[in-house]
Chain A
Amino acid sequence: MPKQLVSLIIDGQSVSVPAGTLIVDAAKQVGIDIPVFCYHPKMEPVGMCRMCLVEVGRPVIDRVSGQPVIEGGKPKIQFGAKLETACTTPVSEDMQVVGMSEKARTGRKEIVEFLLTSHPLDCPVCDKGGECPLQNLTMAHGSSESRFKFDDKQHQKKHVPLGDLIWLDRERCIQCARCIRFQGEIVGDAVLDFFRRGRATDIVTYSEPGFDSIFSSNTTDICPVGALTTADFRFGARPWEMNSAASICTHCPVGCNTTLNIRREARSDGNMVIKRIMPRQNEQVNEIWLCDKGRFAHHFSASPDRLAKPLVRTGELVTESSWEEALNLAARSLVEAKQDFIVLAGGRLANEDLFNLKALADGLGGKAALYTHMGGGYLTTLAGVSMDTNFGEMGAGTSILVAASDLYNEAPLWYLRIKQAAARGATLILAGARETKLEKYAAHVIRYAYGDEAQTIKSMQKSKAGQAAAEALASAQNLVVLYGSDGLGLEGSASLAEACAGLLDMTGHAGKPGSGLIGVWPHANDQGAWEMGFQPVADLAAEFKNKLVYIAACDPVGDDPALAEALKSARFVIVQELFQTETTRLANVVLPAQAFTEREGSFTSGERRVQRFYPALPAFGETRPDFSITASLAQKAGLELEGTSALLIMNKIASKYKSFEGLSYARLAEVREQWPLVGRGDIYYGGAIYANTQGLGTRLALLEAGSLPGTKPVESKRPSESELLAIPVCKIYDRGVTVLPSTLLHPHIGDASVSLHPDTAVRFKVQAGSTAQLTVNGTAYQVKVLVDEKVPASVALLPRSMGIPINTPATISLKAA
């Protein structure tokens, strides 16, 4: 139901806003800036800093009639004796707000003077200088001189690590509590709070380790002073020295919009380097937030292990070569292979790269496969979400089912936004074999044993918890189902996807706007690959045998050393990569690709939003964009593909694939005003987050769903008495090739570990904290043993991408090392 509109006058301007709007927001909507420090439009007002003081007049109400007193045809307005805080006062009919009177201006000037009495005024050496609300509001509202004696200033510690990623300067803090409130209200990890009182009030962390949150860096964007800085950027550069380029985060399927801040600097040998990654506002994707992985795991693009030139193998000898030589050799082999070749593409590739790879495979008669451990993606192209789905607007009437996914680790921003949707009244249902962080906010929790995923979703009504959940699903106006691969390999996840799609179908939600199926993919652009018809293959080793193998942006041998032998049995191996990997070491030709920071392109997020990224840095060495490499290769093999412009490839994608119909780079670059206002002159209000001027992206169209395929029975793998079933799970900070080069995150990555229930640990005679020997597929690994009561009995949770090949549940053996 739309809210009733309330009309009022702010500094002479008439405004109509929904009832309940705060004066500060009403003013902002008509371009009037009422200065704030503690208020933030994403959080509840607290009225602490007192910066937003204004004069407020309200109609005089006649005590007898209860009606406003009319004077000269207008309601008589009476102004209060005191200034009021615009951030805590909701608008009311015929209210008059005066922010520019002498009284209001003096009030604000006095508040600035108070704030500066305890502030060190070290702007020249402060990271926030240049994009600092306190600096800007002091210039706008403060006095040019202070009556406070500098010698009376309280000196505090200036380098306090709250955790290993965030530093606090206690002198600069103005006690606005934005960071405390962000962690409590928005994240739900209340790890910060005030300590002591009065002028001694400090921000402290209560968690062990300190500031234990994967969203911690957002506090540095909304901090209105330079009190909070990141370990990555502090003392790194001044804001005005950096250029910016719009980009998309490549670490998970959420597709957070980012801005890369770059600078050419002496300390990097005169090269252009990324200094920091900032969130770029997209209220439908990441709002104004980023997870710490997205912000800090960017160093891979500048890794010293990057490949600068093509490599060619002659026998055992690998030598650098020219592009011409490498491409000729690769193309000749491709032609010789005839149709006996397979293209294996990773989900890190852009839509344009995938399009060319698929076109090459189709054009020359080979096979195109997606390298992934998670299946069922074609169902998201049929029953996925479309235009009207936005976690940020979900509330009562929407049910959200999360099956077999630990969103906190797999897709942090979805975790954050679904948590908030639940707070707004959406019914959250979690189906999982183990307790995950999001469960705290769930209305219903369905617990199953690993292996029973699809069956559980199919026969939900059979359990008591499931029954209530099933009713919530059936009665929901909108139903969004997210499925993941917690404990699932290719087959199991495909099966779960079918069960989830079946559920949407059965409850009448399939194909409805506002409803749909979302895959929590391991990579940023797996969705794009599915949309273009890539399929995963079950047995890679069998696919490699005697074929030409063309691998792009994935490292199958690094993930599973057992595949080395299989790749050696291939007739020829072409690998297109950023770095040397275990896979490139077995290649006949290695083609060096550009990182996403060096070129343009687009990704399709798990929510089926196509979003552009832009070049930020010059190309590294002689690298070329993936789509261009593929086109050159194709051309030399006799197939014409577009290889010069990503824009033109997008046009081809739009004409070939129905779901991309009508898409173009121009459309993807469209923007419209978003609320709250951030960045630019509005840093004091929304934070130093970048405003989105380069494109909000566009959702793919929903295809005719037709009838969805039924569920195949899955054989659940269960351990025998003496065995142990290893369950692959996700850990946000892992040893993935794009994470590991960020040394800053190493303390969070840790060693390879296995998590066991205490009873299981006793059974296998291993102790918490000790090192054990774990054998999988005949290879033994040393792992650290973690013991946790939340782990189901008789399974061993083994994080993926931590050096132990595990993609699907597997029987392992475990003994004390």
Chain B
Amino acid sequence: MAHILLRHRDIPDINKLEVYRKNGGFEAFKQVVTSMKPEAVTEVVKASGLRGRGGAGFPTGLKWAFMDNKNWPHYVVANADESEPGTFKDREIMENNPFQFLEGVAISAYAVGAHAAYVYLRGEFWQVAAFLDERIEDMEKAGLLGGKLFGTDYELKIYTHLGAGAYICGEETALLESMEGKRGQPRLRPPFPPSFGLYGKPTVVNNVETFTNIPMIFSKGADWYKALGTADSAGVKVFSLSGRVKKPGNYELPFGTTFRQLVYEHGGGIINDRPVKAIMAAGASSSIIKVDDKALDTPMDYASVRTLGADLGSASVIVIDDTVSIEWVISKTVEFFKHESCGKCTPCREGNYWMMHVIERMEAGEDVEANTELLLSVAKQMQNKCLCALGEFATMAVVSGIERFPDDFTTSSIGGGHA
């Protein structure tokens, strides 16, 4: 099947404006601006069943419909922070199929009446930002951005904005704070961005991949899109496959593809043909799935993955084989979250620091059993108390790891099995 999002794999040079346009590029944007009312655009997106690709899977059209029409101006922000360990799909899209992404942003802006849209990229993506700036300039020169678009009164500008290297800025409200020039710390929610977003104005924040789906939904129709994937999760998804597989990389597949298909048909199986021990489906923010045949045959859609006591999240599938200790895995996730905790709320700021120290003691061989118990207790103590999702995510690998893989937390197993 031809790619929908990773079209550069089928069409060379689609990152050049003339090639993208030759392949139907910006027809959807034109059609939308010249012939559709903004509300109708949102209706189409609703009908497509598209859900946000940033991890939460919130229905995209519904989010757009929440925009407060009594408060103007409106903004659109593309979340290109892509900081979740194991996620590397947005970068491939932006570098290789930038116009499809930007067209999606433009259609979204039209749908919510925004005249300014921003692409917020993590600080390390400065080269991607420079590249996107050039593509935005291409669009401006071609009359695809700016005033009087397609002869109408609609005008739109797109800007890139670089973060300063904090994982938390992928959280949408921290992202908005950072864009406003403040410390990247999450805001209280509610209010959510569609009522109180950038500079306090209604704002749509969607992931890069989400936007990239939009143009095809208009060129091929909502029904076409909805028919892809599963009833619960419409369309296709870019799965970032990493870990102990032979062929790691991004794979664009319909929702509902099983873990087994991803790992064996696409990923070429496990290095040295070892058995799969565990899967983290949502990067470092995962509950660790204990893998058996049933798990491998579980379709990857939002609802099905939940039956395994985990979430699909942004579908950054990290595969762990039997050579890797889960204790080592969580030592890495905890170190990551301790480093990235913004410090705003108590449980996350103190809890991650504490967990790190408990792990250090365990790894030094200090009363492994008691420390494992303490670690589990601290993680559970953080749960449901944090201000934003980061603190909650930090506990997931710890709790699921200890509960599902107790054998990796014994005096004899500690210190073994690094990837």
Contact = CB atoms under 8 A, between A and B. Distances in A.
Contacts of A196: 343
Given A111-B385, A114-B381, A198 B343 contact: yes
A199 B344 contact: no
The residue in B166, B338, B341 that gathers the most chain A C-beta atoms within 10 A of its C-beta is: B341
A198 B339 contact: yes
Contacts of B345: 47-50
Contacts of A48: 344-346, 387
A197 B385 contact: no
Interface residues of B, number: 30
Interface residues of A, number: 35
A111 B346 contact: yes
Contacts of B341: 197-199
B62 interface: no
A791 B338 CA distance: 51
A83 B166 contact: no
Contact of A198 (B352, B377, B381, B387): B352
A152 B352 CA distance: 13
Nearest to B338: A198
A149 B355 CA distance: 11
Contacts of A81: 384
A82 B384 contact: yes
A175 B346 CA distance: 8
B149 interface: no
B186 to A, nearest CB: 10
Interface string A125-168: 00000000000000000000001110010100000000000000
Interface string A186-208: 00000001101111110000000
B322 interface: no
A577 B125 CA distance: 72
A49 B343 contact: no
B343 A201 contact: yes
B350 A117 contact: yes
A110 interface: yes
A444 B388 CA distance: 42
Contacts of B354: 114, 117, 148, 152
Contacts of B361: 149
B357 interface: yes
Contacts of A45: 188
B11 to A, nearest CB: 42
B347 A114 contact: yes
A83 B387 CA distance: 11
A118 B353 contact: yes
Contacts of B339: 198
A102 to B, nearest CB: 15
Contacts of B350: 114-115, 117-118, 199
B165 to A, nearest CB: 11
A115 B343 contact: no
B311 interface: no
Nearest to A49: B346
Contacts of B381: 110, 113-114
Nearest to B354: A117
Contacts of B353: 117-118, 154, 198-199
Interface string B375-394: 00100011011110000000
A110 B342 CA distance: 20
Main secondary structure of the interface of A (DSSP, over half): loop
Nearest to A174: B346
Contact of A199 (B183, B343, B377, B382): B343
A114 B357 CA distance: 13
Contact of B183 (A50, A51, A115, A193): A193
A45 B387 CA distance: 13
A194 B183 contact: yes
Contacts of A199: 338, 341, 343, 349-350, 352-353
A272 interface: no
A816 B336 CA distance: 63
B385 A53 contact: yes
Interface in A6-47: 45-47
A536 B357 CA distance: 72
A196 B342 CA distance: 8
A99 interface: no
A175 B188 contact: no
A728 B345 CA distance: 50
Contacts of B346: 48-51, 111, 114-115, 174-175
A333 interface: no
B351 interface: yes
Contacts of B386: 50
A194 B168 CA distance: 16
Nearest to A103: B384
A110 B374 contact: no
Nearest to A111: B346
B340 interface: yes
A147 B358 CA distance: 10
Contact of A114 (B168, B351, B384): B351
B385 A175 contact: no
B385 A107 contact: yes
A200 B346 CA distance: 13
A88 interface: yes
A255 to B, nearest CB: 38
Contacts of B347: 50, 110-111, 114
Given A113-B381, A115-B350, A197-B341, 19 more contacts: A46-B188, A48-B344, A49-B346, A88-B188, A107-B385, A114-B347, A114-B350, A114-B354, A114-B382, A118-B350, A147-B374, A154-B353, A196-B343, A198-B338, A198-B340, A198-B352, A199-B343, A199-B352, A199-B353
Interchain residue pairs A-B with the least CB separation, the first 8: A201-B343, A114-B350, A198-B341, A199-B353, A152-B357, A82-B384, A110-B381, A198-B343
Interface of B: 166, 168, 183, 188, 338-347, 349-354, 357, 361, 374, 377, 381-382, 384-387
25 contacts: A48-B345, A48-B346, A49-B346, A51-B346, A83-B384, A110-B385, A111-B346, A114-B347, A114-B350, A114-B354, A114-B381, A115-B350, A149-B361, A152-B354, A152-B357, A175-B349, A193-B183, A194-B183, A197-B341, A198-B340, A198-B341, A198-B343, A199-B350, A200-B343, A201-B349
Interface of A: 45-51, 53, 81-83, 88, 107, 110-111, 113-115, 117-118, 147-149, 152, 154, 174-175, 193-194, 196-201
